Structure 1
């Protein structure tokens, strides 16, 4: 699933091509891929609008159109938004084609979990999934104190807490495992046992790992590509994720692979306490 670094990379690469362009045509190949506003047709609502900016909130992409309309795109497991300079025949798993003044944007999704929702911009943060998201981990306002407050009173594993988008927006399995490794904290630790020093280390690790992921343009194992169809390279820097049974790069201990919070979790029992 695209996480914060992947969605941020899609945002940046898509914005390079489509800002200030008008959407001339919308072709729905699989209509369930979109959610319109009230009883209006998605095609009629979106066609003729101009793309003003592209923002991100957690794992959501916000394509701001003129006249108070935003498209909220969630990639889920295998969603992609690809830009093409010329008209292109839709591939097998392409569900929506946005024809622009210059080129096209194709929304594709092998597993069909991703969605694009049209909603008035003025209601984005009150009448959508965005309203319940936790803070952005790379904003200046996200401090160790904020993280402590978000975790306060919880009696679940730190892995489960960090996967909860209501606690913190944008983290998924990859970047949680990597952040916990860098902070030296076992994913099985209950959050109410973390000291202030450990929370401070975790806060710094989260920011370090996410920024490194963005700098590497995301992690590509299978489906993820940016808007240009390019892969990210952060998988080369992974310390624990996907490496269960292999030696720890720091101490040589065989990395543990367990099931935690419904997700496969990899960690070093020697380096992470």
Structure 2
């Protein structure tokens, strides 16, 4: 019933837990974390029921993250109120995805990165989902929102691909490229399952496809796809 703490990690933020009497951080970091005190912006000192004292530390070298207290329902806060639907679970299905993309003339990948439509979809997972669905990142977003049987099949296929990519990434612990690690400092492993992201020039992994992964730039972001099987 009290204030809610909203935390955003930004690009390089992370939490670590240190137990009193030990200077070791559990897990192994993809990149060594800064020991400069200026990068430890928030420290929560807590004590367990057994009397064990620990510190929960928010570290953010690049300072793109933030923390703030919200009164009332957190989903009505200005930082959250404009966010779209979550990409996990069955709420994101073909008909809903089609309604979100209807009449949009922007490239499909660009539309999927719009956090006002779907919250939490990033550059990597959109590239992977489009590959799984066999859809080109360059096509107009609204082309999968029609009433024709083909468009309905495409929107269903893409919704399923988005859900499966996110589910697989969560199961693998995320994708450790530069700064991302889990709360205990351990790495994620989904990057080892990438089919197209950061695989420019490699053969497409889709069975029967003889194409190769290409890299293009859309809205300042790298896009990886196979033009042979993604239409």
- The separation in 1 between residues aligned to 2:203 and 2:90, in whole angstroms, is 36
Which of residues 209, 213, 232 is equivalent to 2:165? 209
Aligned residue number for residue 95 of structure 1 = 41
User: For 1:125, what is the secondary structure of its paired residue?
Assistant: helix
Which protein is richer in strand relative to its size?
A: 1
1:256 corresponds to 2:214: yes
Cross-structure match for 1:17: none
Distance 1:252 1:79 in 2: 40
Aligned to 1:85: 19
Tell me the SS of whatever aligns to 1:84: strand
| 1:222 corresponds to | 178
Structure 2 residues without counterparts, runs of 5 or longer: 25-33, 48-52, 145-150
Give matches, 1:87-236, under 5 Å: 88=23, 91-92=35-36, 93-101=39-47, 102-120=53-71, 122-194=72-144, 195-236=151-192
Query: Matched residues in 2 for 1:171 and 1:160: separation?
Result: 11
2: CA distance, partners of 1:128 / 1:99: 29
Offset at 1:94?
Answer: 2.1
Secondary structure of 1:71's aligned partner: strand
User: Per-residue CA shift, 1:153-205, capped at 9, x if unaligned?
Assistant: 21111101110110101100010000000000010110111211111100000
TM-aligned CA deviation for residue 123 of structure 1: 3.9
Partner of 2:199: 243
Structure 2 counterpart SS, 1:103: strand
Report the count of equivalent residues. Answer: 206
Structural RMSD (CA): 1.7
Residues 23-34 of structure 1 mapped to structure 2, 5 A cutoff = none
- Structure 1 unaligned residues grouped into runs of 5+: 1-66
Please give the per-residue CA displacement for 1:33-71, whole angstroms capped at 9, x wherever unaligned.
xxxxxxxxxxxxxxxxxxxxxxxxxxxxxxxxxx51111
Q: 1:96: Cα distance to partner? A: 1.4
The match for 1:32 is: none
The answer to whether the aligner puts 1:268 opposite 2:229 as a matched pair is no
Distance 2:9 2:199 in 1: 25
Which whole-Å CA distance do the structure 1 matches of 2:201 and 2:17 have between them? 39
Determine if contact 1:257/1:264 at 8 Å carries over to the other structure.
yes
CA distance in 1, matches of 2:95, 2:164: 17
TM-fit CA distance, 1:252:
4.6
CA contact (8 A) 1:159 1:261 kept: no
Residues of 2 paired with 1:73 and 1:139: CA distance? 23
TM-score normalised to structure 2 length: 0.84
Indicate if the aligned counterparts of 2:89 and 2:163 stay in contact, CA closer than 8 A. Answer: no
SS at match of 2:41: strand
By how many angstroms is 1:100 displaced?
Answer: 1.1
Q: Report the TM-score, using the length of structure 1 for normalisation.
A: 0.71
